[in-house]
Structure 1
């Protein structure tokens, strides 16, 4: 009987890998077969700043409370050690929750006393690690009622199907990432231009490497517990409105998305944030893509200051220009003439003339028009510069 039940569940598990909307129903079936009364699938990723939970038979308010409160303070409440122990196990290995969090220790936590008990969850739980990814973790847990325990037969059945859960979830994650990159159009990041995806509550579902760098260099962006929270109230309100327009395309008659200008002090150039709907197909919008969260908006963050510094650096490395020559070259590329470029650089026209002759020699051109064509990409497609 156990063998037949395992075979039936394994087939359904791989169906869920290709149709993620089946996961909630599948989790209930697995839990029922193993004698559980509640079940959950959790995914947490420091890289993408995301946490999500599928728990079909739990009170939705308790799930939201877990996300909003306990996942924020939980790592100060012993969760870090539990996650470390979970990740130390190979993907597909079934563990007793009490191995991850000893009963006496867990019973003293606020999480147990203020949340766990109110959910009528016992400490007898079977847990399986679903990933071996660095830092990120996904797990599936099945729970008994208080003072109940799993039988040897129930444990054996879960151990038989757990490796398939891990493989299917890994497969689903890979498929979802590929589908999202195709539908969302996430391009390779470059200095000064980062891409992030947000769910409807501004939780970050995905952030590329340059976006991660921009979070550190632009404190005005605001990042709190994986949620984009601009420091300026008007910017935060505008972001919420634009995300809402992407989540519900009927909210904005003029079309979803838009632009936000984030100002900075000390005469520094502003940061531009472009907000667009993900462009995902209707079917894929209804499932979690990066992890388990559902991205509705894709943001492109452009830091002109950082972008300009990188372009100066590339000119210096590619053509051997001095910092002053590289700066003047970028001003020339704006196309309004030598005198205007000199004025923006704060130099005399005679100095600008000297700069230009030296730039011609180093780049290998004779006229200003040739320089602009070359660095705008007309003559050399490998360059990444363009006129503004």
Structure 2
């Protein structure tokens, strides 16, 4: 095989990785390069009995076949002679005639068009990775030195591609689990990419996007209807994304003004409480480098209702005091709660002072934490 053909095979390996990450497809690039019937990738650990097998071409093959091969005395005897190093022909360890007399050949290898093989072993951390290229002993010639050289040249790329594919698969599984949790949240969650465009919306966020009442969520981004509020929202997103890129700033909890910029109220339709929007760093939380920031959106009108009866019974609050407390626990500011109840801010503060005394706290944040525990 010429150098250009090897280069194209390397490109094919990483091309398959970029397209779908399926190990079978980039093993197929190796199979085609050496003219094999199929290629089997085998990973096993020095310290763990767990093994994994991938076959390039035999679609739908039962993985238990490989387990049967691995557990056979013949396979163990041959593989026990091998160490990580240059690719070798199996015929140099056991002649085809000897192999034909073994049960493993008659039961499995011959029906799978095998019998001739070249084997390459490489160490990858604590694991040994072997690639076994197979040909039919009945109709093909044995692998020649050129084939072994090609496997030696491609094997490092196969090992690297396999490692990357498994890493991507693990990240995708973790991300899938995380997004399932986000989807189950009662409040809206919008995950933004590096261009501040929505990468993911949970079910509650999709409802807000459909309503378009004060907040507009489209494929181009998230914006507020009111210009001043939109300017503050975009600034909050930029602050959150900036903190994500400068992780040390996340530990600077003394910088309260920075975090205050990341939480704001966005007006909804008249007669409704505003949305409470918090922008937080993205990839540091989700472990996804595509993410810049996450918007957490609380809709006080649709958040779970606090039991006014329980608050009145447990803490001796009046109806008005309980209503004010419920609004504050849903995320409303004192002025917003006062407006919703049709009272002045001064009156609301007097109510709140009485609530503090009855509940036994001195700060609004402590009130929210305590009373929130009796949500209906």
Considering fraction of residues, name the structure with more strand: 2
TM-score normalised according to structure 2 size: 0.39
TM-score normalised according to structure 1 size: 0.38
Of structures 1 and 2, the one scoring higher in RCO (CA 8 A, sep 6+) is: 1
